[in-house]
Structures are given as structure tokens and as C-alpha cells.
Amino acid sequence: MRPAILTPLFASVATLPGVGPKMAKLFDTLLAEPGREARVADLLFHLPQGTIDRRNRPKIAEAPLDSMVLIQVRVVEHRPPPRNRGPHRVLVEDDTGDILLVFFKANPAWIESSLPMGATRWVSGKLENWEGHLQMVHPDRVLDEAGLARLPPVEPVYGMTQGLGGRLIQRAAEGALARLPSFPEWLDPAFLQQRKFPAFGEALRVLHRPQTPQGIDPMSPARQRVAYDELLASQLALVLVRATSRKAGGRGSVGDGRIANKILAALPFKLTGAQTQALVEIRKDLAEPERMLRLLQGDVGSGKTLVALLAMASVVEAGHQASLMAPTEILARQHYERMLPLAEKAGLVVALLTGRDSAPQRRKTLAALADGSIDIAIGTHALFQDSVAFRDLALAVVDEQHRFGVHQRLALGSKGEAVDVLVMTATPIPRTLVLTCFGDMDVSLLREKPAGRQPIETRAVPLERLDEVVHGIGRALNTGAQVYWVCPLVEENEDLDLAAAEERAAVLRQFFGDKVGVVHGQMKGRDKDAAMEAFSKGETQILVATTVIEVGVDVPNATIMVIEHAERFGLAQLHQLRGRVGRGSGKSTCLLLYKGPLGQVAQARIEIMRETEDGFRIAEEDLRLRGEGEVLGTRQSGTPGFRLASLDVHAGLLAIARDDAQLIFARDPTLQSERGQALRVLLYLFGRDEAMRLLRAG
């Protein structure tokens, strides 16, 4: 049960004074996850992005140009435009000089009532010199004494949405602050004192009512305090989840190497040092009586699939079954086709299970899984439907599932007795994000590329040279090369993305006819597979695609990657797309087509892509350039999406929070002490209900 102290904060924003049903819907758009109402806590966690500093209140003669000032003036004269053409001007003065206030297309009645002749008013804005006279265009505030009394000297500036301006958000935030309860202190007193952190509620008040612009700085004590609390809630939840999965117990799966050795003997190359090390770590985990929860991180093309197959072989040697789950049918089928020849040579029985199997085929596969005649099942999330029963599942491998939250990873283990879980990702993840998203897991890294992989030449080409690119591709096609052509992201709108892909394919078909195929996210699975298969078999030589080919698709003969409007893609995504080529023995090229002039961040991305192919370095740079919310793709469920902490700034606090969480758990694993009870409030406040459910379940 959520503590009663938090009830006011989990009420809808519609319950705040001055927020009606219509405005509440706008707050939902701005603050809430899809399908949920915005709550008072969401508003409190929507921190100001900046401030307007109105503490400078000079006389007219002393007022600086081009900086924010608040000046007390008398209204001397109105100068409406002749025949409503041009701006309405109002002459105002103090005892040191005068200013013209200039209003374009403003309501004359509003101007007359706000600035009545002879009245004293406070006007706020920036002064400029226009043809020898001081003027202020569109003052942002025109106030009488009562209005001035209500105006904060340093005003917070919030992120907004259409129809919901800064003043409305500010008013609602004040209403939310009035609901703040007196929280129990969940931080260690010595740590609080050393860091000079205010109490949590006080920190939120300071951030929404800054006294100086520096008050909201990411490194200010108030901002660090709330960031640390959010990170601590995340780390403590991960520690509790991990402890629960370990406590559930495991069972040792010790293979004798007979199947794995046959696979190794069938390979035309040796494992890299990193692959060998990862296997040692995985097999050690499999042999332990505790559940394995391990993340296998490898750069594009570092050989994760082979490590997974050898791990699954070890489990089968011990008399159990294994499964591999991929996020899409294309990838599941590809894993199956890649593993099948090696598996057959080693005597392993491998089956593919997807949502498109015919009813008789599905029944046959399910029966074979249940009686144990299938050793390894490969599929999509269809593997974990209730109808699928394994005789003895001991290892679940999950590919590319940073889209999965912690609780979903736990659910994977429920298909067998104490199932070990290995999660693979080809998206190198910065160390800070590994701690936040996968802190409940051990980590193995594959940093080496297998022998024989060619470096990829990366070039940046302005879009004006598109004709040259098309002619160059024509020459490459004559030598038998194959080309991916990735179309731009259009405002994250699938319909527009699709239109862009279809349009580009139509243009390329004018040159290359039926050598051009198309694949995009809105095609039916069957059609998508058919388009990919035609490209794999060389029936089409150019595959025009949206980012649906970003992860895992493998056509060794494809040696050219064209990324159109490369400036619209994130670094990690550019790196993933580039990794689709360079998979065979041929020399590969990646062309980044960009539309100039480039912004600073886009320029930095393209330069890094040209400098390095090291996915781990690229991941760190991506975090620096974009912030953690976007690094794992468009904000996905399962990623933390911090609202108060910013990992590029608060990474140092994350390491402290991790140590703190482990120490708390070591001393008080069921959170029963006085501090433990306060920490329960913290976990609920930050929506870590899953950890609390596990705590209650013991």
C-alpha cells in the first residue's frame, strides 16, 4: 500500500485550484505517460529550465540596453497608429528620461486599460535605441503595485506545450507546492551535512521559487538533492529486484563440452579473447546454485550470437532446454538461419516459433517443446505466451531487449525452474546507463571484432551532391555490390517516414528499375520478410528502408550504406545503421548525406562517426550530446527516463547512490528500521512500486 502521506501528490492535477478539465488534458500531454493522467507529483518534478531575472530596477537614464529591466514609469501619451496601420506607441517617463513602449498588432482596448493616462506602472522588458530614442517593444509585464507585489523577482521558466503557457504552469506549480507533505528524512544525516543538502520538500520549493538564477543550476544543492533521491530510488529498486531473483534460487547447469566443442570445430575461425572471456563468465554463472542475470554487451558485429549459442549448448549438455527471444520476426528468423547449420553439425535440435506459424505447425512445435525433443527454441515474445510450455527450460537468452523493464526480465524466468537469464545488446551502453538500466545484472563486454572484419570508410556528403552519389552507386551495382539506402526520420511520424521511403524508392527505380526493393515498419511481417529475403538472395541490389533495419539484419554482401539526412539521427542510431555493412570480406563504405548548414550537435555527431568505429566511445559521446533519456532510442519503456537527475551532469551522484543502496540493503534488507520506513516512502514517491511488491512478497 502506498503510504497515506503521498496521497495528495498522486491526485490528478485537475484537483489543483484553477486547473479545470480542459487544462488538465493539456497537463496530461505535457507531463504524463501515455494512457495516464498527470498527477501533482508530475508537476512538482517538472522543474524550471531557466529563469527571468527582474531584480534590476533602475531609473530610465541608468538602464542598460539589451538586458532585462523592471522600471517604474508614468504614462504620458498614447500614439495609436493612423488607420490601424503600424504599431501602437505609448510614451512613458520617470524623472530621469522617457521611453516609447511599442505594441504591434495588440488590442487597443487592452493597451488603454493597462496603461491609463497619468497612471504609474511598472514595465518589464529589454530597452533598445531606435533612431536616437529609447524604446521597449512588447513589454513582457505591465503591472500596477498589486501586480508587482505578486511578481517573483526571479521568475521560473518551464517547458511548455501548445495552449499551456508559462504563467499557467507557474500558478499550478504554486498550487502543487502547497500540497507538499512533511517527508520523513531518508538520507543519512552525515551525508546530508557533508553535502549541505536541504530537505527534499525544501529543495523542491527552492527550485520552483528560485531566489537567484543560480538556484536552479544542475549543481546547486537543491537540484543535486532531488537528483540524488531519484537515483537512490532507482538503485535501491534494482538491488531489491536482484536480491529477489537471487533468493528465488537457481540450479547448477554444468556442461561437459561435448556439443560446444563440435560447434567450435565447425567454425572457420577462432573465438576472440573477449568471446572466450565472456563464455568463461557465463559458464561460471550457469554452474552456480544462484540464478544468472547477465548482460552481454557487444559492439556491432562482435560475435554475441555465437557466444549465446555456445552458452545454450552448455545448458543442453547438462540435460536442459534453452530459448532465444528476439524483438522482431526478421531477427528471430535470422538467428534461426544463422544458428541452424552449426547446431545441426553438433546434433542440436533447434526450432523457430513466431506468431505467423500455421496452427498445425505450432501444435507440433509446442508438443516437441513440452516433451523435450527440441533443445533450443528461437522466437519473438510469442515464446512467453501462456500456451508455450517447456519440459525443462534452464536458460533464456533475450536479444536487443533494452526495451524490457526489470520486471519483464524477471517474468522471463517463470517459464521453468529457476531459469538463468542472459540479455544481449548490440547497442553499446555508457557505463552510467548500465548502472541505471541494468544495475540488477552482471555485465560481460565484447570489445573486439572477429578476425577478417574490414574497417568501414565513412564519408560525409552534402545532399546537393545527390546526383553524384546515385551515379557512384550505379558503378558499384555493376560490380555486384549491394546497397542499403536509409531514409530520414520525419518527426517520428511513421506515415511521413513511409512516404519518404516510397518517394526515394520511386526516384531510384527511375535509374535502376526492379533492382530496388523497399522495407518499412508498416509493412505486414510477411511482406517485410519477403523484401529482406529478396535482398539477402541478391534478387534486389538496393534496399530502401526506414530504420527498421537498424538492429541485427545481416547481409554479408551489402557493402554500401547511404544514410539520407544523417543530421536527423542520433549517434547510436547512425552507428547501428553503419554496422549493417562491413560484415563480409569486401571493402565497405558508409555515406552520411546531410543538409547544411549543420547545427553544432549534428556537426559533432558526423565528425565522431568519421573518426571512430568504437561503439563504446560513440555511446559515451552520445550520452554527452543527447542526455540519457534518448540514448537507448526514443524514450522506451524499461529505460529509467529520469526527470530530476541528468546523467551527463549527475553521473558522480549515481555511483554514490549505488554504494548507498547496497549498504542499506546489507544492513536492513526488508527496510524495517526507521530509515528503512522512510526509504519505502521514497520508493513509492518515484514509482518503484515493483520493488515494493517484491519486498512485501518476501
Q: Which residue in the block uniquely carries the three cell numbers 554514490?
A: 656
| 521 Cβ contact partners less than 8 Å away, ≥ 6 residues apart | 494, 497, 498, 546, 548
Domain ranges of the chain: 4-52+154-217, 55-150, 258-446, 456-612
What pLDDT band is residue 493 in, cutting at 50, 70 and 90? low
What is the DSSP annotation of 315-337?
Answer: HHHTT-EEEEE-SSHHHHHHHHH
Q: What percentage of the chain has pLDDT greater than the value 90? A: 55
Q: What is the pLDDT of residues 222-259, one digit of tens each?
A: 999 999 999 999 889 888 877 776 666 668 888 899 99
pLDDT at 431: 67
- Going by their DSSP bridges, the two strands 133-137 and 97-103 should be labelled as parallel
Lowest mean pLDDT among 47-56, 73-82, 165-174, 243-252: 243-252
Please state, in angstroms and rounded to a whole number, the distance separating the CA atoms of residues 65 and 442: 58
458-483 average pLDDT score: 94
Q: Tell me the pLDDT of the chain averaged across its residues.
A: 86
**Would the pTM count as exceeding 0.75?**
no
pLDDT at 438: 66
What is the DSSP annotation of 235-300?
Answer: HHHHHHHHHHHHHT--------SHHHHHHHHH-SSPPPHHHHHHHHHHHHHHHSSSPPEEEEEE-T
Distances (CA, A) of 596 to 493, 507, 568, 571, 635: 22, 22, 12, 18, 27
DSSP structural state of residue 93: E
According to the CATH classification, is domain 456-612 in 3.40.50.300? yes
- Nearest of 5, 1, 7 to residue 39 by alpha carbon: 7
- CATH code assigned to 55-150: 2.40.50.140
Q: Say if 258-446 and 456-612 have the same CATH topology.
A: yes
Identity of residue 87? P
- CATH code assigned to 258-446: 3.40.50.300
Main-chain dihedrals φ then ψ at residue 650, nearest 5 degrees: -105, 20
pLDDT at 639: 42
Q: What is the pLDDT of residues 640-697, one digit of tens each?
A: 468 898 877 888 898 899 899 999 999 999 999 999 999 999 999 998 876 777 666 5
CB contact at 8 A, 121 and 143: yes
Q: Which residue in the block uniquely carries the three cell numbers 531557466?
A: 50
Q: What is the pLDDT of residues 509-542, one digit of tens each?
A: 999 999 999 988 777 878 887 888 899 889 999 9
pLDDT at 631: 37
Q: Look at residue 384 and tell me whether its pLDDT is greater than 70.
A: yes
